[in-house]
């Protein structure tokens, strides 16, 4: 077998190890964000798992994004006391969609992330409000929107910036550093 | 994007989505499900630890931020105490009422046939819930059952509405899903407690079906009637505020401020058994 003689090209840490570290950090983040959403007082809270899963979806491919989105959604269902699978299903679809968009159409930057996340968050907010409050028409159900759901959504949106920053840093530090080569530099290509 | 919808990735994601729909249907038709139970079991210790840290930080910040408020509250309470000393002239009446109340709120000693659980720690709160629902660290393994009443020494808090092996979810009496038969200690007039989103934001509930000619006045204490067999008779619920004629014109309704603030609870007790538990249900059978 032909060995790569150029020592500078061999990475210090193997890509598999980097990937393992990255997903371990993501798992720790997931646990932390779940406990953060159930701790403290009874005021409206930011749902950190949502922007976190969306930020990971920006950098990862569709299937890992969908799986992380589903797991984060299941945890959110438990912490929000919602029907198990409701948030998980929506987040699975959102994260897969965000991943597909960012790998094909959108540039990976914070503005596009905020736009994509706001759209997904807005759809989730409406579906949550509709299925859990509006459809039943209980007395004063609109107050839930103004006193709980919208404040929570705004807090989540505000937290999405540092969350994206954290995911970006993890991806920079632990992501597989793919270095595309110019065709001219690749001696294996047979030229006509 | 077109090639994505025809790819294997899309099929895998569709399968995950179908699996989640299956979970959702299963969760909808069963009262308890393995996923939330497993999540709760795994995360309960982490939640408990996290809640302790959160409580410690909140308490420390609260003391710093609200020092002035507490000082004023202290002064106000001192004035109230002075007024109470002035009112002690009617000693006999106060003593009788005091004995009566002590009898009702002292659950452990007065309520024969009531079995209380071990103290249950509040390990987490249902995020963004208007009613202040929370999770406790006792579950099926500790003898907790669905719809067991949850209390503190000050009165009733709510009911267990989800029981998993190691933890349970408590829905408070502020919820619009809970109705409870109550009566006034002083006048004996009965009514039913019900919650709403609007009242929950003020931490209050409504007492309905009060007779039009009621003798209840503001400040009267309301306790559970125990008629439904879901909760023992005589547990303090709260104090009556203003009353008004209900929209149907046939009865009155009044606002009740519960004696227990569900938002600040750290420890509660579950009444696992009591005389007459489920009696109304059994009569129906």
Q: Which of residues 107-136 of A touch B (CB under 8 A)?
A: 133
Mean pLDDT, chain A, integer: 84
B214-225 pLDDT, tens digit each: 888 888 899 998
Residue ranges of domains in chain B: 32-276
Check if the beta carbon of residue A66 is closer than 8 Å to that of residue A54.
no
Per-residue pLDDT tens for A93-129?
A: 999 999 999 988 889 899 999 999 999 999 999 999 9
Instruction: Provide the pLDDT for residue A1.
Output: 43
CB contact under 8 Å between A39 and B46, yes or no, is: no
Kindly tell me if the per-residue pLDDT of B281 is higher than 60.
no
Rounded mean pLDDT, B4-15: 84
Using the beta-carbon criterion (under 8 Å), do A139 and B39 form an inter-chain contact?
Answer: no
Over residues B94-109, the pLDDT tens digits come to 666 666 556 555 555 5
> Is the pLDDT at B159 greater than 90, yes or no?
yes
The pLDDT value recorded for residue A161 is 93
B13 close to A (CB below 8 A): yes
Assign B204 to helix, strand or coil: coil
Considering the entire predicted model, what is its pTM? Answer: 0.71
Contacts A36 to B, Cβ<8 Å:
50
Closest CB from B33, B124, B197 relative to A138? B197
Contacts of A42 (CB under 8 A, 6+ apart): B125, B129, B132, B134, B262, B263
Per-residue model confidence (pLDDT) at position A42: 66
Confidence grade of residue A8 (pLDDT, cut at 50, 70, 90): very low
Return the CATH architecture of domain B32-276: Beta Barrel (2.40)
State pLDDT tens for residues B41-52.
777 777 677 677
pLDDT top residue among A1 and B209: B209
Q: Which residue in chain A has the smallest CA separation from B42? A: A31
pLDDT reported for residue B1: 64
CA–CA min distance A85, chain B (Å):
5
Q: How far apart are the first and last CA of chain B?
A: 60
Rounded Cα–Cα distance for residues A54 and A75 (Å)? 15
Question: Do residue B124 and residue A39 have CB atoms under 8 angstroms apart?
Answer: yes
Q: What is the complex's ipTM, to 2 decimals? A: 0.73
Closest-approach residue (CA) in chain B for A93 = B17
Output the pLDDT for position B149: 92
Confidence of residue B144 (pLDDT cuts 50, 70, 90): very high
């Amino acid at each position: 077998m032909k060995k790569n003689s150029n020592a500078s090209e061999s990475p210090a840490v193997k890509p598999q190890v980097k990937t393992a570290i990255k997903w371990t950090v993501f798992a720790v983040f997931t646990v932390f964000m779940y406990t953060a959403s159930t701790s403290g007082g009874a005021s409206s809270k930011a749902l950190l798992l949502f922007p976190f899963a969306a930020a990971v979806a920006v950098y990862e491919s569709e299937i890992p994004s969908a799986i992380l989105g589903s797991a984060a959604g299941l945890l959110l269902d438990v912490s929000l006391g919602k029907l198990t699978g409701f948030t998980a299903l929506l987040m699975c679809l959102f994260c897969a969609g965000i991943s597909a968009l960012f790998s094909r159409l959108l540039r990976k930057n914070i503005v596009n992330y905020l736009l994509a996340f706001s759209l997904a968050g807005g759809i989730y907010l409406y579906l949550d409000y509709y299925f859990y409050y509006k459809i039943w028409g209980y007395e004063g159900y609109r107050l839930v929107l103004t006193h709980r759901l919208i404040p929570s959504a705004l807090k989540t949106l505000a937290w999405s910036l540092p969350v994206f920053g954290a995911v970006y840093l993890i991806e920079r530090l632990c992501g597989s550093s793919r270095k595309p080569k110019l065709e001219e530099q690749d001696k294996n290509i047979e030229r006509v | 994007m077109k090639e994505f919808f025809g790819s294997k990735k899309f099929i895998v994601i569709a399968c995950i989505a179908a699996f989640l729909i299956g979970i959702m249907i299963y969760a909808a038709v069963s009262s308890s499900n393995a996923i939330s139970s497993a999540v709760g079991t795994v995360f309960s210790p982490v939640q408990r630890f996290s809640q302790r840290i959160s409580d410690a930080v909140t308490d420390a910040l609260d003391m710093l931020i609200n020092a002035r408020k507490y000082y004023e509250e202290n002064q106000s309470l001192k004035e109230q105490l002075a007024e109470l000393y002035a009112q002690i002239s009617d000693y006999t009446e106060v003593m009788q009422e005091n004995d009566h109340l002590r009898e009702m709120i002292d659950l452990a000693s007065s309520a024969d046939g009531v079995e209380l659980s071990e103290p249950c720690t509040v390990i987490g709160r249902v995020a963004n819930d208007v009613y202040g629902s929370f999770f406790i660290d006792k579950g099926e393994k500790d003898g907790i059952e669905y719809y067991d009443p949850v209390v503190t020494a000050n009165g009733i808090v709510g009911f267990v509405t989800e029981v998993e092996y190691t933890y349970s979810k408590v829905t408070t009496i502020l919820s619009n899903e809970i109705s409870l038969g109550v009566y006034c200690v002083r006048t004996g007039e009965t009514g039913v407690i019900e919650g709403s989103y609007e009242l929950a934001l003020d931490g209050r509930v409504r007492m309905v079906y009060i007779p039009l000619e009621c003798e209840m006045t503001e400040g009267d204490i309301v306790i559970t009637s125990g008629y439904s067999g879901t909760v023992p008779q005589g547990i303090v619920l709260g104090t009556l505020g203003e009353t008004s004629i209900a929209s149907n014109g046939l009865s009155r309704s009044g606002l009740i401020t519960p004696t227990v603030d569900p938002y600040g609870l750290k420890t509660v007790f579950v009444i696992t058994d009591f005389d007459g538990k489920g009696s109304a249900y059994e009569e129906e059978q």
